[in-house]
Each structure stands twice: as C-alpha cells, then as structure tokens.
Amino acid sequence: MIHTKNLTKEYDGFRAVDNLNLKVEKGQIYGFLGPNGAGKTTTILMLLGILKPTEGEIYIMGEPLSKSPLDIKRRIGVVSEKQYLYKDMTAWEYLNFFADLYGVKNKEKRIDELLSAVNLIDVKDRKLGAFSRGMQQKLGFT
C-alpha cells in the first residue's frame, strides 16, 4: 500500500531523510519512532504529498504519488495526535466543509454514515470546542 524507493529530503545540504526504502502492506500498522530531528515528520509530510522529496519515489496503492497527487490524496488520510479543528463549527459542519473541498457526492448521506461509523452521530450538532480529545480524533479519522 505504501512503498518508498530511495526517498531523500535535503534542506540546505542537511539530509533530513536519507534513502528511505519502506514497504507497508495492506492491513499493517506502522509507526515512526526516533529522536527529534530524525526525519519522522518530514517523511510523513512527503508521504502525504505536502513536501516534495529531493530524490526518490513514493508509491501509494501501487501508484506513483508524483504522477497523480490529487487522485491519491483523495484516497488517503492521516490522524495526528494533535487535531487542528475549527472549534466554532459543529461536527456536521466540519465534515460538510471537507466534503465540499473534495467534491463528495451525496455528501449529506455520507456525512451521516461516517458520523454513525465512529459513534458521533448523536453529537453532530455539538461545537468541536466541546469535544473530548478522543472525540476529536474520531472525527479526524472520518
């Protein structure tokens, strides 16, 4: 599902990521562990297509990220420890915002399905600022 070949990122001559060859198969759970400055965040940002590698290639679901980044970005996501939510929006408004960005069809039905799947349908009209950390992470997962 995720495959990198010689993934490298340099900043002004400093190699933050050095020839990373990684394979994460469907169903596997993979974590990045290491000291500050080891390249964990840089790697994740490259895998998400936010940062461009200096060298190497990233394949997501068998497709090179460099060839169709928008198509691939529509099919992937990440939930970080810290959620950056619009605290004055409700859960439903938040998902509606992203549904509009990504051009989701039948968005009202899909939003309700996703909220039900993560057991947040009963709080869909609650402001995100009132959500617990766990609830915020569930919402981020959707």
- Give me the residue spans of the domains in the chain: 2-73, 91-141
**Looking at the whole model, is its pTM more than 0.85?**
no
Q: What is the pLDDT of residue 133?
A: 85
pLDDT of 85 strictly over 90: no
For the sheet containing 55-60, what is the strand order? 14-24, 2-11, 55-60, 63-64
Over residues 34-58, mean pLDDT? 92
Share of the chain above pLDDT 90, in %: 58
Q: Which residues contact 125 (CB under 8 A, 6 or more apart)?
A: 90, 91, 92
Nearest residue to 2 via CA among 74, 39, 57, 55:
57
Residue position matching structure tokens 């990440």 = 78
Report angle CA 18, 20, 26 to the nearest 5 degrees.
Answer: 160
The torsion angles phi and psi of 91, rounded to 5 degrees, stand at: -60, -45
CATH class label, 2-73 = alpha beta
Using the Cα atoms of residue 118, residue 128, residue 30 and residue 67 in order, give the sign of their dihedral. positive
Banded pLDDT at 90 (limits 50, 70, 90)? very high
